[in-house]
Chains A and B, each alone.
Chain A
Amino acid sequence: MSRYIVRRLLQAIVTLFVLSLLLFAWLRSLPGGPVSALLGERSTPEDRAALEQALGLDQPIFIQYLRFLERAAQGQFGVSTGVLPGRDALEIFLSRFPATIELSFFALTLAILLGIPLGYLAARHRGTFLDTGSVLFSLVGIAVPVFFLAFALKYVFAIQLGVLPPSGRQSVGINATHITGMYVLDGLLTREWDAAWDALRHLILPAVALSSIPFAVILRITRASVLEVLDEDYVRTAQAKGLRAATIRGRHVLRNALIPVVTTIGLQTGALLAGAVLTERVFTFRGVGHALAYGFETRDYAVLQVLIMMAALIYILVNMVVDIAYAAIDPRVRVR
């Protein structure tokens, strides 16, 4: 097991290295080069010269790369030009991160609570209307552009029906104390129930929109996995032994079928991050995705640099943890 962990760690380090090369190449190829990309259009010649010096653009390329790594390690990514002009880029990421964690958590929970039972039922009743219906439903879920779904939800529930707030993370009038930056959790911690309830109401629509793709993926993986397990010899053996149907379902089928599902859930973080860019933009939900969306729109490369790097970093870390957890559950993985 420890050998597997070491191997997986090394693999993650290689991935990080290649990723840093890619990010470096990306920064170098930005329109007008990194200096005007990081400073924006309206920069003074002094600023440009200073940054050029600081970036060491007169140095050979591999020294520039080392400098880039050094600055990244120190958290110096430059100053925002478009999203929140003048603010430090890393600071923007840190201040926005809790909101996205909160949103992703709710979206993923929703996707799991709906996806696994539906996928299981679809597999158990293979070929019936329930099966075809839920598979078709998940395929439609994938075919709908996430931001359109977000807009449609907002239009129906916030604008037409007016039952849920259309944008933001908390109503303006509410005087809430913030500790973690996750507003629902903050409200619960400080026992400001109305603040927590208000934040939760703001979360519902974005979370539903964001959950559409993970939901579809989880549903289909669960269905495929349950179908595969139902076909296994040990299930037939259990049936032949005359075990009760409930025991077979719980112990033999569901338990084995859920292993791949659990790992898939971890891997949905990537889809969540990309989806958050679109969803948070529609609902003006000020998280990382919102900052990324405006970063792309205003070509705020300092902010984009941090956010893309952090997004990839999180994704790689989650991937690694999931792989290791998987190897802990299923010994066969370790051998490969």
Chain B
Amino acid sequence: MTDSPRRPMPGTPSHKKARLDALASTAAPSGSSGGSAGGGVATAVSDAGRVASGEGVSLWMSAWRRLRRDWVFLFGAAIVVLFIVLAVVAPLIAPHDPATRVLIDQVNRQTNPVPGPQPGHPLGADYQGRDVLSRLMVGARQTLLVGVLATLGGLLGGMTLGTLAGAFGGWVDSVVMRVVDVLLSIPSLLMAFSIAAMFRSPSQWTVILAIAIVQVPVFARLLRGSMLAQRHSDHVLAARALGVRKGPIVFRHMLPNAMGPVIVQATLVLATAIIDAAALSFLGLGNPDDRSPEWGQMLGNAQPYFDSHPHLAVYPALCIIVVALGFTLVGESLRESLDPKSRR
């Protein structure tokens, strides 16, 4: 295999950037030449046999064919689907209201700060006498909300910047990308902490905002990469030759092709968003209002009881680990199935 300049080796300088660029280069559709030198050729070669045997297969279709038999993907997808279903139906099936202090009369700061498991409350109650099982179930909803909104926020911001930079090039590109690269060079979690610390009274929205802003440069670089890869590819050239204007070219011809890597990245970001929210809560930068529970917040708030009642932290932590793992597995196997290079 020849060395294609567009696809950096894993871990070339500035690993984060290189990884994003590698992901971006999987954007151009199969069969397009020029723009995605190495990738395009590899696809053409691996597809050659298939074309002869029947009708052409779209990128997504062939990805799905691979994913269908990939147990890593199926396992991750099962976790994600379960999580989403739980988030939707939890308030209906939760045995207790997550905010009601059903066991408050058992809580005694000195002798019994955290009521243990008992009939009707299989996981016990928390330090305010609220049913832990119900809080975990209902917490899925808030966790999903924080993850999705933070990811969407980062996606929207990054998409706008990246599309601007990639579609227009020139000085817009230089300015935007310089700022994006600097933002990428700050450790992301540290940046999330700093942004969250800017607000005097933290809330659910400051948490979402802090995590979303950190993801903006990530998506911006990704989008710009795939825009650049497509700018000189055949389908864009053809559209331009037909007299299609710049706007429609960007939105109808280039953006849809960039969706693959964006979806992969968004899935991975969802996992980190949920973990980061927990870290923010742990440092006291999270949402102080715990009437509607969120796993990261439950984990963060459990820290004073960790040495004496670790189960209070273990349950939400396990939920976070499983769900984050689910999203990561889905993202990683999606990435592999959409990357023409790994289709051997």
Contacts and interface: CB of A to CB of B under 8 A. Distances in A.
Interface of A: 14-15, 18-19, 22, 26, 29-32, 139-140, 142-148, 151-152, 155, 159, 221, 224-225, 228, 231-233, 260-261, 263-264, 267, 270-271, 273-275, 277-278, 281, 292-293, 296-297, 299, 301, 304, 308, 311-312, 315-316, 319, 322-323, 326-327, 332-333, 336
B279 A278 contact: yes
B9 A225 contact: yes
A148 B13 contact: no
B14 A319 contact: yes
For A139, A145, A296, which residue has the most chain B Cβ atoms within 10 angstroms? A145
Given A142-B328, A319-B14, 15 more contacts: A22-B183, A142-B271, A142-B324, A143-B271, A143-B320, A145-B296, A151-B306, A225-B10, A271-B189, A278-B282, A293-B283, A297-B283, A304-B194, A312-B190, A323-B13
Contacts, number: 159
B13 A274 contact: no
Contacts of A261: 11
Interface string B27-41: 000000000000000
B283 A277 contact: yes
Given A277-B190, A277-B283, A315-B186, A143 B16 contact: no
Contacts of A14: 178
B299 interface: yes
A270 B187 contact: yes
Enumerate the 9 nearest inter-chain pairs by beta-carbon distance, A residue then B residue, closest first. Answer: A260-B11, A274-B189, A270-B187, A31-B200, A143-B324, A264-B11, A323-B13, A143-B325, A18-B182
Contact of A145 (B182, B275, B325): B275
Query: For chain A, what secondary structure do more than half of its interface residues adopt (helix, strand, loop), or is it mixed?
Result: helix
B197 A151 contact: no
B11 A221 contact: yes
Interface in B271-299: 271, 275, 278-279, 282-285, 296, 299
24 contacts: A15-B181, A29-B198, A30-B198, A31-B199, A143-B271, A143-B321, A143-B328, A145-B296, A221-B15, A225-B10, A228-B10, A264-B11, A271-B189, A273-B190, A274-B189, A277-B189, A278-B282, A299-B197, A304-B197, A312-B187, A316-B185, A326-B13, A327-B13, A333-B12
B303 interface: yes
A297 B328 CA distance: 30
Given A145-B317, A296-B193, A315-B187, A155 B198 contact: no
A146 B320 CA distance: 12
A270 B188 CA distance: 8
What size tier do the contact residues of chain B reach? 35 or more
Contacts of B16: 267
Contacts of B1: 231-233
A292 B193 CA distance: 10
A319 B185 contact: yes
B193 A159 contact: no
A29 B196 CA distance: 12
Interface string B306-338: 110010011001001110110011001000000
A192 B214 CA distance: 45
Nearest to A223: B10
B307 A263 contact: no
Nearest to A314: B187
Interface in B158-191: 178-179, 181-183, 185-190
B210 to A, nearest CB: 11
Contacts of A270: 186-188, 190
B282 A221 contact: no
A143 B10 contact: no
Contact of B182 (A15, A30, A271, A322): A15
Contacts of A233: 1
A8 B313 CA distance: 46
A260 B193 contact: no
Contacts of B12: 260, 263, 326, 333
A32 B200 contact: yes
Contacts of B196: 296
Nearest to A270: B187
Nearest to A294: B283
Contacts of A273: 187, 190
B302 to A, nearest CB: 9
A262 B133 CA distance: 45
Given A32-B200, A148-B299, A224 B178 contact: no
A316 B310 CA distance: 39
